[in-house]
A and B are shown apart, each in its own frame.
Chain A
Amino acid sequence: EDKVVQSPLSLVVHEGDTVTLNCSYEVTNFRSLLWYKQEKKAPTFLFMLTSSGIEKKSGRLSSILDKKELSSILNITATQTGDSAIYLCAVGTNSGAGSYQLTFGKGTKLSVIP
């Protein structure tokens, strides 16, 4: 059974701090790793990673995949209260039918306090 584990489960930081969220996985037929941000509504897409060692950046957020360690990290620098959300990691795999599916971790709840 495919497994995706995120840590920590929750995190409280002050505005301006830098945070690192972790995601590790055990899956068959790995294809990609995705990060999502979920506030009080539906998840919104942040990054998709397929190649090991290549960092993806978007403003204060960045992420990198380590296929050897079967893990990924999501960094957020100079955190703001608007970064408060649940961050979900998902791993895409090739299914037997030639299509793909995503297995989600339980998420990391980030709270940024002023």
Chain B
Amino acid sequence: DAGVIQSPRHEVTEMGQEVTLRCKPISGHDYLFWYRQTMMRGLELLIYFNNNVPIDDSGMPEDRFSAKMPNASFSTLKIQPSEPRDSAVYFCASSFWESETQYFGPGTRLLVL
């Protein structure tokens, strides 16, 4: 199994630009999670999906953040417009319905200048 796949691995952009992060979960996993990790705040859950449906987005920091999961094998996290404080590593993770072990992707390191 290829594991959770994320792209891009690194993104450098300027303040005000739109950023789109992509995730392909492990095949057969029903849950998909988006996390953000910074030195100051640690790992934070932003939003998660169950069977492509958003369940809890209370961790999404602002309206500038949005996430979609159009099908079982693809999800996006979009930031529009981006700000320097959005700089972080964004992880996507997936898990089975009956298992709580979440398998993380390699992350996208985002730098907003």
A: residues with CB less than 8 A from B are 31-32, 34, 41-45, 48, 88, 92, 95, 97, 99-107
A2 to chain B, nearest CB (A): 10
Contact in complex: A42, B100 (CB < 8 Å)? no
User: Chain B's interface: helix, strand, loop or mixed, by majority?
Assistant: strand
Residues of A within 8 Å of B105, CB to CB, are 42
Partner of B107, one of A41, A102, A104: A41
Whether the pair B42, A48 counts as a contact (CB closer than 8 A) is no
- 24 intermolecular pairs with C-beta atoms under 8 Å apart: A31-B100, A34-B102, A41-B107, A42-B105, A42-B107, A43-B91, A45-B102, A92-B100, A95-B55, A95-B56, A97-B56, A99-B50, A99-B56, A101-B33, A101-B45, A101-B56, A102-B45, A103-B45, A104-B43, A104-B45, A105-B42, A106-B42, A107-B42, A107-B43
Binding site for A on B (CB under 8 A): 31, 33, 42-45, 48, 50, 55-56, 91, 100-107
| Whole-angstrom distance between the Cβ of B113 and the nearest chain A Cβ | 23
Q: Is the CB of A45 within 8 A of B101?
A: yes
- B62 CB to nearest A CB, Å: 19
Known pairs A97-B55, A97-B56, A101-B45; A42 contacts B104 (CB<8 A): yes
Assembly CA distance A14 to B102 (angstroms): 31
A92 to B99, CA, bound (A): 11
In Å, the complex CA distance between A48 and B99 comes to 10
User: Known contacts A34-B100, A42-B107, A48-B101; can you find 6 more A-B pairs with CB under 8 A?
Assistant: A42-B104, A45-B102, A97-B56, A102-B102, A104-B42, A104-B44
Q: Which residue of B lies closest to A88 (CB)?
A: B43
| Pairs of residues from A and B, 8 with the lowest C-beta to C-beta distance, nearest first | A42-B104, A104-B43, A106-B42, A92-B100, A97-B55, A99-B55, A45-B101, A99-B50
- Chain B residues with CB under 8 A of A42: 91, 104-107
The smallest C-beta distance from A99 to any residue of chain B, in angstroms, reads 5
Assess whether B42 is in contact with A34, with CB atoms less than 8 Å apart: no
- One of B31, B56, B104 near A43 (C-beta < 8 A): B104
Set of chain B residues within 8 Å of A106, measured between Cβ atoms: 42
Tell me if B31 and A99 are in contact (CB < 8 A): yes
